[in-house]
């Protein structure tokens, strides 16, 4: 991509606060963006070939609310990304991330996190300290079990479709705001699904198709009627 074209994008972003440069074959984060650290609210560099984020630059976008780097080649996130206190939406689908920075819990404004199609082997415990997090997409990773720490998650929707989950802590029923739980196409036996999800949780949409049991067996479990009451009440609300 020519320098003049990039310069034109930078000039536009200076006025709009939005920098969008998708499908351009970029191999690195544009250094020219350092001129815009104090006025960018949105950066979208999806569908490129970016392998890393510059630590000294990425943490300086103090007003940034939305960062999208879907379909790149990121293997690790620098700790400096956790300085983005205004960040509300972080979208990193289809990269090569195996874990999140240990300081990820400092992203106190984060509401939506998309990490579908990465290589995470576990539910990141850092998510449990994010009090404003509403939606988390961890589908298409390599997560095998859901630990007790899940009970501290504040999310409303948790997508764990297409992982390798065979165990779920009963603490998932304690999530105070969790309404939508997606567990499709995992490795769950019916006996491994905590019945308290049905009888004693806030969950009103449980998606479990494509596991190691028939859905009709789920309907026979104790507590299923309570779950259906929540499901129906929610459906009516949005009808």
Q: How confident is the model at residue 1 (pLDDT cuts 50, 70, 90)?
A: low
pTM: 0.96
Pairwise CA distance, residues 93 & 210, whole Å = 22
- Could you please report the per-residue DSSP string of 17-36? SEEE--SS---S--GGGGGG
Kindly tell me if the per-residue pLDDT of 166 is higher than 60.
Answer: yes
Pairwise CA distance, residues 75 & 107, whole Å = 20
Kindly tell me if the per-residue pLDDT of 88 is higher than 70.
Answer: yes
Identify the DSSP state of 213. S
Decide which of 68 and 236 is more confident.
68
Provide the pLDDT for residue 2: 60
Provide the pLDDT for residue 171: 98
Domain regions of the chain by residue span? 47-237
Sorted by sequence, the CB contacts under 8 Å of residue 113 that are 6+ apart come out as 90, 127, 133, 135, 136, 137
Q: Comparing C-alpha atoms, which of 127, 121, 66 is closest to residue 91? A: 66
Please report the sign of the dihedral spanned by the C-alpha atoms of residue 182, residue 79, residue 24, residue 12: positive
- The residues that bridge with 158 in the sheet, in sequence order, are 136, 181
Residue 195, both tokens: 């019945």
C-alpha gyration radius of the chain: 20
Q: Do residues 82 and 104 lie in contact, with contact meaning Cβ atoms separated by under 8 Å?
A: yes
Domain 47-237 listed as CATH 3.40.190.10: no
Encode pLDDT of 89-104 as tens digits.
Answer: 999 999 999 999 999 9
Residue 167, both tokens: 């165990």
């Amino acid at each position: 991509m020519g320098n003049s074209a990039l310069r034109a994008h930078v000039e536009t972003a200076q006025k709009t606060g939005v920098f969008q440069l998708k499908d351009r074959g970029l191999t690195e984060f544009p250094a020219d963006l350092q001129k815009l650290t104090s006025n960018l609210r949105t950066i979208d560099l999806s569908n490129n070939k970016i392998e890393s984020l510059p630590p000294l630059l990425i943490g300086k976008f103090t007003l940034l609310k939305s960062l999208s780097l879907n379909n790149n080649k990121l293997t690790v996130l620098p700790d400096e990304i956790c300085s983005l206190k205004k960040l509300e939406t972080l979208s990193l689908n289809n990269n090569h991330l195996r874990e999140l920075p240990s300081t990820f819990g400092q992203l106190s404004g984060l509401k939506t996190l998309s990490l579908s199609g990465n290589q995470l082997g576990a539910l990141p415990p850092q998510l449990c300290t994010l009090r404003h997090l509403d939606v988390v997409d961890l589908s298409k990773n390599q997560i095998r079990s859901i630990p007790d720490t899940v009970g501290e998650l504040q999310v409303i929707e948790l997508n764990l479709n297409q992982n390798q989950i065979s165990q779920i802590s009963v603490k998932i029923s304690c999530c105070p705001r969790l309404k939508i739980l997606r567990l499709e196409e995992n490795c769950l036996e019916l006996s491994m699904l905590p019945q308290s999800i049905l009888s004693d949780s806030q969950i009103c949409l449980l998606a479990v198709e494509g596991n190691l049991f028939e859905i009709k067996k789920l309907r026979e479990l104790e507590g299923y009627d309570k779950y259906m009451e929540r499901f129906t009440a929610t459906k009516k609300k949005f009808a």
